[in-house]
Amino acid sequence: MSESKANSTEFKHKIKVHEEIIRVMLFASAAASILITVGIVVILGRESIPFFADPRVTFREFFGSTRWQPQIEAFGVWPLVTATMMTSGIAMLVAGPIGLFVAIYLSEYATQRVRSWLKPVLEILSGIPTVVYGYFALTFMTPLLRSIFGNDIVEIYNTGSAGLVIGVLIIPLVSSLAEDALSAVPVSLREAAYGLGGTKMETALRVVLPAAISGIAASFIVALSRAVGETMIVSLAAGAGPNFTFNPFRAAETITGHIVRISGGDIGYDTLDYNSVFALGLLLFLITLTLNMISRRIVTKYREVYE
């Protein structure tokens, strides 16, 4: 009797240790995600310090000059930033309205049957690798723009073509997030609007849309962050070489495009080029992180809560 009791406590103890080991291992894998963030911040910081510490680069030049030409040691980040703004701005002009309208159509107008094939189609659109979109921009969108506006106006590489195609890429992102927000609006709100004599469109645009506005705003910001970080489309279609221009038909290099071009070749460690890439990466990381945090803030803070 007492022997079996001893065995049982021993057994319990064994299980306890076993369970504890597993718990610690699982916690370690969850904590690994923190290590990734720490890794990103430390690496980007560590490798860009030599860039800003270099006598050939000054902070004022980096944020104040409109010329980025590493060959003559000009490191003003603005041409890369404006090109990024051009491509992601154009992308948002395409994906903002279209994505939102698709979301309204899906949540308010479409029948169950249409939804059952339309949603997978949109998912396919977002599942296609971006390098394929780059090919599309180069072999379809650019020739299309050139045949519409003329070969002398539209350059072979241009931010317009890249921006339009990024827009196509992020339509599904906007539409799926915005649709989630629209569907979360309770049916009772719609019924109240109909009861007051509102048409379908008035209900959708003046009742459901305002009620879901925080989720929609968040979806726009997430999409913008995606467009800013988009790399392959711009490096194939937007052009190679920084160019301070706001003309969408001219070539210009974005932050991401520049990083890819510089580090694509055999880049020597601890050169100014190598470190500049990390400085640009840090800038890009801060921009996208800020956008993502804003979108999360909007969702948690301004969400209308219904019972």
Partner 1 sequence: MSEFATTNHYGTETDTRENISRRRTAGTIWRYVFYLSTSIAVMALVILILNIISGAFGYVAVKNTIEPETLSERGAPLTELSSEELIAILEANVSTGLLRRLNFEEPLAERSLDDLVELVRIRVVNPQIEETWNLFPSIFNRREIDEWMNTKAEPGTRLEFRVWLTARFIVSPQNPDPQFAGVRTAILGSLWMILITIVFAFPLGVGAAIYLEEYARDTFVNRIIRVNIYNLSGVPSIIYGLLGLAFFVRIMGPITSGAVFGASATTDPTGRTVLSAGLTLGLLILPIIIISSQEAIRAVPQSLRESSYGLGGTKWQTIWHHVIPASFDRILTGAILAVSRATGDTATLILTGAATVIFIDPRSLFTQFTALPIQIYQWSARPQGAFRNVAAAAIIVLLVLLLTMNAFAIIMRDRIRKRRLM
Residues 61-90 interacting with partner 1 (rule: CB under 8 A): none
Residue position matching structure tokens 């350059």: 155
**Identity of the residue, 29 or 71, whose beta carbon is nearer to partner 1 in the bound complex:** 29
Is residue 49 a contact residue for partner 1 (CB under 8 A)? no
Q: Burial letters for 176-203: b for 16+ Cβ neighbours within 10 Å, e otherwise?
A: bbbbbbbbebeeeebeebeeeebeeeeb
Q: Which stretch of DSSP H or E encloses residue 210?
A: helix 209-211
Distance CA 287, CA 228 (A): 8
Query: Binding residues for partner 1, how many (CB under 8 A)?
Result: 85
Q: Of 23-31, 58-66, 80-88, 244-252, which segment contacts partner 1 by CB under 8 A?
A: 23-31
Site pattern 268..287 for partner 1 (x: CB under 8 A): -x-------xx--x--xx--
Beta pairing partners, 74? 69
Q: Which stretch of DSSP H or E encloses residue 75?
A: strand 74-75
Site for partner 1 in 251-270 (CB under 8 A): 256, 259-260, 263-264, 269
Contacting residue, 93, 132, 153, 196, with partner 1 by CB under 8 A: 132
Task: Provide the minimum distance between the beta carbon of 17 and partner 1 in the complex, in angstroms, as a whole number.
Answer: 12
Task: Provide the minimum distance between the beta carbon of 53 and partner 1 in the complex, in angstroms, as a whole number.
Answer: 17
Contact between 186 and 208 (Cβ < 8 Å): no
Is residue 148 a contact residue for partner 1 (CB under 8 A)? no
Site pattern 150..169 for partner 1 (x: CB under 8 A): ------------------x-
Contacting residue, 91, 122, 182, 208, with partner 1 by CB under 8 A: 122
Distance CA 219, CA 226 (A): 11
111's torsion region: left (phi>0), alpha (psi -120 to 50) or beta? beta
Q: Of 62-70, 80-88, 95-103, 184-192, which segment contacts partner 1 by CB under 8 A?
A: 95-103
Closest CA to 242 of 267, 265, 261: 261
Site for partner 1 in 184-243 (CB under 8 A): 199-202, 204-205, 222, 225-226, 228-232, 235-236
Q: What phi and psi, each to the nearest 5 degrees, are found at residue 68?
A: -120, 100
Task: Provide the minimum distance between the beta carbon of 231 and partner 1 in the complex, in angstroms, as a whole number.
Answer: 4
Is residue 6 a contact residue for partner 1 (CB under 8 A)? no
Distance CA 51, CA 65 (A): 16
Q: What phi and psi, each to the nearest 5 degrees, are found at residue 45?
A: -65, -50
Contacting residue, 131, 153, 192, 196, with partner 1 by CB under 8 A: 131
262 CB burial (10 A radius; 0-12, 13-18, 19+): middle
**Identity of the residue, 57 or 236, whose beta carbon is nearer to partner 1 in the bound complex:** 236
Task: Provide the minimum distance between the beta carbon of 93 and partner 1 in the complex, in angstroms, as a whole number.
Answer: 13
Q: Of 51-59, 79-87, 136-144, 178-186, which segment contacts partner 1 by CB under 8 A?
A: 136-144
Is residue 245 a contact residue for partner 1 (CB under 8 A)? no
Distance CA 120, CA 99 (A): 15
Is residue 23 a contact residue for partner 1 (CB under 8 A)? yes
Q: Do strands 74-75 and 68-69 pair parallel, antiparallel, or not at all (unpaired)?
A: antiparallel
**Identity of the residue, 153 or 286, whose beta carbon is nearer to partner 1 in the bound complex:** 286
